Structures are given as structure tokens and as C-alpha cells.
């Protein structure tokens, strides 16, 4: 290891606490390659002048082991990366089947699709509700895929219990504590999205409302937060992903669609999520986004999704985090 150092020869002021000048820094460059750089903290002061000496580098605190949550036969939080994809809203059986077939062919593992939608405007499309139940049963059974879908009210849990494999708690419901506690009494996994202006600590504490009621199968989802920036729908907080991975035992996935709100930017944020250590992504896809009844501007086309999956696979392979393989129960002819 080669050491490059610059000593400071000024004396420390006699009656003031000495603060190391910005010019006194020591860099170690490893012979293993140019990417191995460490800034090493130094101490000084010996015989009336500062001397630089190397201190032992501190190892980063070990992260807690990520708990594995199984959804539809896929382990989220394990060594493999999980992709959940589908429309923002289920609009018709034909639309849901076309989207689900397309994302499955491109490599998605689980389906997403809104049965009920919480919208800012009361006049906007709110989802098909109970009218979509038979559509969901037909599509999921035919494709042998499981659905992740949002519940917005305690009463909806029982209604969709037999057709939804994982309950999603949307951003607006993150602090609906009665809903969280009731989901904590269920046996099915819960995907908890971060509130649009929630601190990380509030997000983590919200998950505890579920786990303290007995349901340990919680997946955290970073979906972007509201900041002063208006160029994008929200601001994707990758800090939160890294922090949650280091400080909780829960798996963490990212929703790049809601995070940015711009179709062309969704794949790039998906790649960034994979690189930062997320356990998966949940992405909105629509066969014809211009015709979508909700959030068409952020939905990928089926071709967009297919292209993204191929590049995502290469990125994940490079960081030794492969995509899940096809469901073990499937047989291809």
C-alpha cells in the first residue's frame, strides 16, 4: 500500500482546541486497483508540531440479516432480485390479461394491479373494486402468478383475501394505524410504502404497527418523497433504501414509477435501485399508456419493460444479485 501525505507544520494555538486544517489529509491507495481509496482519520501533536500518523480503520457495523418474505413462491430479501409489474389500475379483463402476459414473458415474477385506487381528486377513476374480482381470479389462475394489490380500508381485507397474495399499503395509508394493526392480524405479507412526506423513522415505526400484532412478513417500499423539486413527480430517496437495509431486518423494494412520474426515467431509477442494494422493484406497465385511466405518464409500455428487464439482468449479474428464475411450478412447452 502506498501512502501519500501532506503534514501541516503550523503550531496549534496555545489556548484553543486544535482543529485539523483541511490541508492535513492522508490518503491510502491500494495496489489492488484504483477504486480502493480510503480516507483515514489521523491524529497529531508531538514535540511542539503536528505529526500525521495512521490510525486503524474502523470496520462498518454489520448490517442485520434481512428477513425473507415469501410472496407467491418467490423469496423477497434473499439472494435473488424480485420484479413486481403490472398496471396501475385493473381496467378490464382484456387489459389486465394483456399486461400480465407481457410482463410475465419479459421476466416479471409477481403482478401488481389496483383494485381500489386512492386518488387526489374524487372525480378521478377510483378502480373497479368488486367488479374486478373475477378478472383477477381468471388472469392469476391462467398465468399462475400472484397479485400484489392495495387495500385502503379495513373492510377490504376480507373481500380480497382469497385473490390477493400480498396486501399493499399505499403512501397515503402509511399512517392509517387501524389498517396497519388489522393487517398485522393477517397471515399474508404486507408491502408498506413510505408516506410522501414521511421521515424514515416514521416509516419504520409504521411497520412496527404490523409486526407487533403478529405478522412479521413486512416488505418496505421506497416510492419517492415530496421535496422542493418540481421537475419530477417525487424525489427517489435512495438514502432511505441504504439506511433501511443497514438498520432494519426487513426487505426493501423500490417503486421507480411513482418516484419519478416520467416514463423515460423509470428504467434508470430501477437500475439505481438494484445497484444500491434494494431487494426488488415494483413497476407500472400498460400496453397503451396513453389510454390508461390512471398514471399513464409513468407507465412503461410492454416493449419498454422488456428492454429494461434485459439491462437490469446484466446489472444484477455484475453485482452478483441475479433475478429470480421462473416459478418452479411452471412447465414450458
The pLDDT, as a whole number, for residue 195 is 97
Residue 45's domain comprises 1-58
Beta-strand relationship, 82-86 and 110-112: parallel
**pLDDT tens digits, one per residue of 85-114:** 999 999 999 999 999 999 999 999 999 999
Residues 83 and 158 in one domain: yes
**Are residues 148 and 110 in contact, defined by beta-carbon separation less than 8 angstroms?**
yes
* 171 domain-assigned: yes
What is the share, in percent, of the chain residues with pLDDT greater than 90? Answer: 73
Phi and psi (nearest 5°) for 113?
180, 130
The DSSP 8-state label assigned to residue 146 in this structure reads: -
* pLDDT class of 182 with cuts at 50, 70, 90: very high
Residue among 86, 61, 226, 269 at smallest CA distance from 165: 86
Task: Decide if 328 is inside a domain.
Answer: no
| Contact partners, residue 81, CB within 8 Å, separation at least 6 | 274, 278, 279, 280, 312, 316, 321, 322, 323, 324
- The answer on 284 and 159 residing in a single domain is yes
C-alpha cell at 205: 415505526
Domain boundary pick from 17, 39, 58: 58
The grid coordinates of residue 192 equal 408498506
Burial of 70 (0-12, 13-18, 19+ CB in 10 A): middle
pLDDT digits (tens, 9 = 90+) for 211-233: 999 999 999 999 999 999 999 99
74 lies in the same domain as 209:
yes
Q: Are residues 297 and 187 in the same domain?
A: yes
| Residues 161, 259 within the same domain | yes
Q: Are residues 126 and 258 in the same domain?
A: yes
- pLDDT over threshold 50, residue 50: no
Residue 116 β-bridge partners:
none
Please tell me the total count of domains within the chain. Answer: 2
The answer on pLDDT for 151 being more than 70 is: yes
Query: Are residues 37 and 12 located together in one domain of the fold?
Result: yes
Q: How far from chain centre, in Å, is Cα 43?
A: 40
Q: Does some domain include residue 217?
A: yes
Tell me the three state secondary structure of residue 247: helix
51 and 79 housed in the same domain: no
Q: Is residue 30 part of a domain?
A: yes
Within-domain flag for 329: no
Is-above-0.85 flag for pTM? no
CATH classification at residue 273: 3.20.20.70
Evaluate if residue 129 carries a pLDDT over 80: yes
* Torsions phi, psi for 74 (to 5 deg): -115, 130
φ/ψ of residue 112, rounded to 5? -115, 155
Give tens-digit pLDDT for 207-216: 999 999 999 9
The model's confidence at residue 66, banded by pLDDT at 50, 70 and 90, is confident
In a domain, 325, yes or no: no
Grid coordinates representing 54? 495512521
State whether 138 and 258 are in the same domain.
Answer: yes
Q: What angle do CA 97, 103, 106 make, to 5 degrees?
A: 140
Of 58, 79, 104, the residue at which a domain comes to its end is 58
Is 87 a member of any domain? Answer: yes
Say whether both 86 and 53 belong to one domain. Answer: no
Residue range 168-181, pLDDT digits in tens: 999 999 999 999 99
Report DSSP state, residue 299: P
Q: Do 211 and 303 sit in the same domain of this protein?
A: yes
Lowest mean pLDDT among 43-47, 69-73, 221-225, 233-237: 43-47
For range 271-280, the mean pLDDT: 97
Q: Does a structural domain hold residue 63?
A: no
pLDDT tier for residue 59 given thresholds of 50, 70 and 90: very low
In the chain the first and final C-alpha atoms are separated, in Å, by 56
Among 29, 58, 87, residue at a domain's last position: 58
Of how many residues is the chain composed?
A: 333
Residues 90 and 193 in one domain: yes
Amino acid at each position: 500500500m502506498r501512502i501519500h501525505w501532506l503534514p501541516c507544520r503550523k503550531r496549534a494555538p496555545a489556548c484553543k482546541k486544535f482543529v485539523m486544517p483541511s490541508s492535513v489529509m492522508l490518503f491510502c491507495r491500494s495496489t489492488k486497483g484504483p477504486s480502493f481509496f480510503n480516507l483515514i482519520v489521523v491524529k497529531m501533536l508531538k514535540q511542539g508540531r503536528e505529526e500525521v500518523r495512521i490510525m486503524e480503520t474502523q470496520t462498518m457495523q454489520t448490517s442485520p440479516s434481512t428477513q425473507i418474505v415469501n410472496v407467491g413462491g418467490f423469496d423477497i430479501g434473499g439472494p435473488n432480485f424480485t420484479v413486481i409489474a403490472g398496471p396501475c389500475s385493473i381496467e378490464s379483463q382484456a387489459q389486465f390479461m394483456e399486461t400480465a402476459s407481457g410482463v410475465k414473458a419479459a421476466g416479471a415474477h409477481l403482478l401488481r394491479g389496483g383494485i381500489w385506487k386512492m386518488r387526489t381528486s374524487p372525480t378521478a377513476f377510483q378502480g373497479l373494486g368488486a367488479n374486478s374480482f373475477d378478472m383477477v381470479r381468471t388472469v392469476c389462475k391462467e398465468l399462475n402468478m400472484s397479485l400484489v394489490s392495495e387495500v385502503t380500508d379495513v373492510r377490504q381485507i376480507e373481500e380480497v383475501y382469497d385473490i390477493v397474495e400480498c396486501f399493499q399499503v399505499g403512501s397515503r395509508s402509511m399512517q392509517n394505524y387501524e389498517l396497519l394493526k388489522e393487517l398485522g392480524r393477517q397471515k399474508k405479507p404486507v408491502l408498506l410504502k413510505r408516506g410522501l412526506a414521511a421521515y424514515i423513522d416514521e416509516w419504520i415505526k409504521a411497520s412496527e404497527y404490523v409486526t407487533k400484532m403478529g405478522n412479521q412478513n413486512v416488505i418496505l417500499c421506497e416510492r419517492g418523497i415530496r421535496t422542493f423539486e418540481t421537475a419530477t413527480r417525487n424525489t427517489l430517496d435512495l438514502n432511505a433504501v441504504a439506511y433501511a437495509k443497514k438498520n432494519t431486518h426487513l426487505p426493501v423494494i423500490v417503486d421507480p414509477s411513482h418516484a419519478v412520474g416520467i416514463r423515460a426515467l423509470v428504467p434508470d431509477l430501477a437500475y439505481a435501485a438494484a445497484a444500491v442494494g434494494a431487494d426488488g422493484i415494483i413497476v407500472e406497465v400498460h400496453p397503451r399508456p396513453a389510454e390508461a385511466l390512471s398514471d399513464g405518464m409513468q407507465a412503461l409500455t410492454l416493449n419498454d419493460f422488456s428492454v429494461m428487464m434485459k439491462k437490469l439482468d446484466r446489472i444484477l449479474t455484475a453485482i452478483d444479485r441475479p433475478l429470480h428464475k421462473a416459478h418452479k411450478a411452471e412447465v414450458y412447452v
